[in-house]
Amino acid sequence: MSGFDLDAYVERTRNGPCFVCAMLAGRPGFEHRIVYDDGTHVVFLDRYPTLPGKLLVAPRAHVEDAVREFTEEQYVDLQRVVHRVASALAAVVPTQRLYVLSLGSRSGNAHVHWHIAALPPGTPYEQQQFHALMTETAGVLTIDDAEADRLAHRLRSVLT
């Protein structure tokens, strides 16, 4: 686990720029490893993963409501990407169960995004579900750049 500063993270998510828009604009400090981009949706490795290979899927356009700001067609297209990416993650990372959920709010991390996380086989029940996703209980994994690059490359290979 890393020396993740939860208070600083919360401050940035609540009072800083939109992290997805900042990443897409190339703003320093908001870099993520993009593994898929179809021009409408972007998929990238979570900078603060609690589980190996945790991914985020977001529309490129800044949208803040997970349902009402999409047409039905846009929402279904996004869910197709979620399905495709989740399948790729399960093909690359040992997976007991895939977690797929949309988090964030207009108060912080407002840009709609879906978390896709693979629960490793053998994880004790008490460490599953929300416990596996929350930095407060799971902590943030320390993943070196080379390992993250290899994972991103493997995911890109499966997605193309």
How does pLDDT run across 109-144, given as a tens digit for each residue?
A: 889 999 999 999 999 999 999 999 988 888 899 999
Confidence of residue 5 (pLDDT cuts 50, 70, 90): confident
pTM equals: 0.92
Which CATH entry fits the domain spanning 6-159: 3.30.428.10, 3.30.930.10, 3.40.50.2300, 3.40.50.1820? 3.30.428.10
Tokens of 56: 């985020």
Whole-number Å distance between alpha carbons of 157 and 160: 5
Instruction: Indicate if the pLDDT at residue 7 is higher than 90.
Output: no
The pLDDT tens digits of the residues spanning 25-62 come to 999 999 999 999 999 999 999 999 999 999 999 999 99
Q: What is the DSSP string of 21-46?
A: HHHHTT-TT----EEEE-SSEEEEE-
The one-letter code for the residue type at 48 is: Y
Q: How many helices (H) and strands (E) does the chain have?
A: 6, 5
Do 57 and 114 contact (CB within 8 A), yes or no? yes
Task: Kindly list the domain boundaries of the chain, sorted by start residue.
Answer: 6-159
Mean pLDDT, range 74-81, rounded to an integer: 97
| Residue 23: predicted pLDDT | 95
- Strands, sheet with 55-59, edge to edge from the N-terminal-most edge strand: 34-37, 41-45, 55-59, 108-119, 97-105
Instruction: Indicate if the pLDDT at residue 1 is higher than 50.
Output: no
Confidence of residue 2 (pLDDT cuts 50, 70, 90): low
